């Protein structure tokens, strides 16, 4: 069976950086906590816990001790939570992805200048929740073209539009096109990460020419779910799995070619394991 593995599959820069910072803190024998799961991959979170990096589900769960290191995950946090963390007697390691940090700075500055803020993304995703916190939650979040069609903005007001870094790029363009046709005064900031766009484009290309497709990622990973949506639209026989144990090879018995891609929070060892197994079938 021919297998094609996406070159862009696996850890992105921001995730790799966050995991490495967490491991470094643990090596220094500190008591290390992350505010929420450092990335949306259960296997990685479990491996880090074995090394002494624990997950605090909320701000209140963080121990108030000087030998504690608190890692802000790659998704970032709200301005309010950041200020509260700084008031604690703990060591803060800010692992917010630099691309997400850039969005925080944009919305904070634009909001202070009086601009309206539009955020294209999933309102329940931690990255979007963090972004909203840097403009006092005074923003409109749009997740679909349908919402863009129905939204009503102030005709004479200037708006700044940003996007969740892992949002579906095609859907982002569709939403922007709809809004601009309404003749609102909108300054569009394309803040979707280049790695995300590259990953989605490559996944689409591979899915289009494959008999079947495997997308590897955490069940709570937004960018992995979007990869699945993109691949499923091009290749009906697409499976979403977290690990090799989830793979149903019975669905691949009659296929000649299988494509494999993975979300930004999927470690390389899982990708290699799946690839090796499928190739032997």
> Domain-by-domain residue ranges, the chain?
2-10+195-279, 13-96, 99-192
Fold match, 13-96 / 99-192: no
Domain 13-96 classification at class level? alpha beta
pLDDT in tens, 149-187: 999 999 989 999 999 999 999 999 999 999 999 989 999
Determine the 3-state secondary structure of 189 from DSSP: coil
Decide if 113 is catalytic: no
Look-up of token digits 């790029």? 169
Q: Which fold has domain 2-10+195-279?
A: Cobalt-precorrin-4 Transmethylase; domain 1 (3.40.1010)
CATH, domain range 99-192: 3.40.1010.20
pLDDT confidence band for 201 (50 / 70 / 90): very high
Catalytic-labelled residue, pool 31, 127, 197, 202: 127
Look-up of token digits 């937004």? 222
Q: How far apart are CA 142 and CA 117, in angstroms?
A: 11
pLDDT in tens, 102-142: 999 999 999 999 999 999 999 999 999 999 999 999 999 99
pLDDT in tens, 12-71: 889 999 999 999 999 887 789 999 999 888 888 999 999 999 999 999 999 988 889 999
pLDDT for the residue 39: 85
Residues paired with residue 212 on neighbouring β-strands, in sequence order: 258
Per DSSP, 82 falls in state H
């Amino acid at each position: 069976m021919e297998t094609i593995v996406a070159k862009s599959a696996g850890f992105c820069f921001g995730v790799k950086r966050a995991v490495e910072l967490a491991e470094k803190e643990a090596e220094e024998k500190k008591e290390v906590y992350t505010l929420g799961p450092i990335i949306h991959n259960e296997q990685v979170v479990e491996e880090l816990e074995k090394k002494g990096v624990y997950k605090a589900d909320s701000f209140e769960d963080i121990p108030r001790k000087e030998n504690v290191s608190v890692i802000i995950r790659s998704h970032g946090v709200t301005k309010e939570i950041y200020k509260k963390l700084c008031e604690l007697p703990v060591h803060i390691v800010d692992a917010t992805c630099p691309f997400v940090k850039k969005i925080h700075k944009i919305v904070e500055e634009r909001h202070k200048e009086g601009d309206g803020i539009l955020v294209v993304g999933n309102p329940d995703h931690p990255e979007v929740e963090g972004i909203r916190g840097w403009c006092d939650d005074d923003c409109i979040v749009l997740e679909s073209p349908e919402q863009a069609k129905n939204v009503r903005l102030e005709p004479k007001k200037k708006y700044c539009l940003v996007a969740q870094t892992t949002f579906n790029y095609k859907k982002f363009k569709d939403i922007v096109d709809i809004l601009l046709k309404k003749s609102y005064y909108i300054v569009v900031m394309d803040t979707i990460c280049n790695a995300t766009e590259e990953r989605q484009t490559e996944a689409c290309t591979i899915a289009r020419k494959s008999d079947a497709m495997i997308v590897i990622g955490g069940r709570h990973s937004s960018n992995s779910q979007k990869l699945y949506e993109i691949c499923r639209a091009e290749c009906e026989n697409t499976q979403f799995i977290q690990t090799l144990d989830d793979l149903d090879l019975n669905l691949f018995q009659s296929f000649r070619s299988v494509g494999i891609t993975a979300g930004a929070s999927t470690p390389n060892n899982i990708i290699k394991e799946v690839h090796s197994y499928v190739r032997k079938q």
